[in-house]
Structure 1
Amino acid sequence: MPLRPVRPSPSFGWIAAAIMVVLFGAIVVGWRQRQRDVAATAIAVVRAPTIPVVRIRPLPEARPTTVAPVAANVAAAHLRTVYPLLSDVTITCRDDRCTLTATIRPVTGQADLDRRQGMLLGGLAAALAADGYRLAVPFKMDEVADNLFHIRASVTPR
């Protein structure tokens, strides 16, 4: 008996087509469901009318109060009282330029050393500013003997 070729049944084509249609439908439905989820979580921007902002005028600039310079001998006496380590304090002025000269006595303990350091790190300038003078930095400081210093600084009245 000769062998006959095996032919698929005609219903096999219909079954394969039906499976393809179902797969295609599942893909479309899944894609649409995913699009719905994205749309549900999207952020909507709504433009509202702008609210007019009231303009506030800026405050006038705060100017530091200027101190009228006191007489040079008064400022020198003030320095002597504020910093007792200073001796021979003189302030001499010519036109708008003044010169401060003073001697810093040797320190005798840690307290004097701390006072001298505070004086040199801004205390001298602050004391002169209270009297209406501006200390120009840097100033000259020479050691004339062991732990005895002579300072010379340019000072301008404000």
Structure 2
Amino acid sequence: MPIRSATARWEGNLTEGSGTIKTGKGGLQGSYSFKSRFEEGEGTNPEELIAAAHSGCFSMAFSKGLADAGFTPTSVDTVAKVHLDKTDAGVGVSRIELETVGVVPNIDDATFQKLAEAAKENCPISRLLSPGATISLTARLA
């Protein structure tokens, strides 16, 4: 399996500095700052990148699970909401909310929910993040 990489460069102190983040092959690139991470400033932040990774991984895992069960999806759209919270232990990702909508012909809701939950439990990014963050899932057939 390939090894994936990304780079980040930060210049200046924490609150006044700024940086750039770039994926290894250059598909994603963005600037980030204290304001984009801890307030509502312009730019991206590491938590958005985690959300992108999780929603992408989940959508692929769910699509595979559906197809393996005999239900080829037309589409799977997923939003991941990563919560960065401040606690007594410090700042950390406490929870992630996955919200997915699938267009899947000929599937009943119970089967759809079961396969969605299996994808949540088994996608590689969920497995990576679940020891430290609570992951919830809302799945809806369109």
Considering the TM-score relative to the shorter chain, is it more than 0.5?
Answer: no
Q: Which has the higher strand share?
A: 2
Which structure has the larger Rg?
A: 1
TM-score for both structures, normalised by structure 2:
0.36
- Determine which structure has greater relative contact order: mean sequence separation of CA pairs < 8 Å that are 6+ residues apart, divided by chain length: 1
Q: Which has the higher helix share?
A: 1
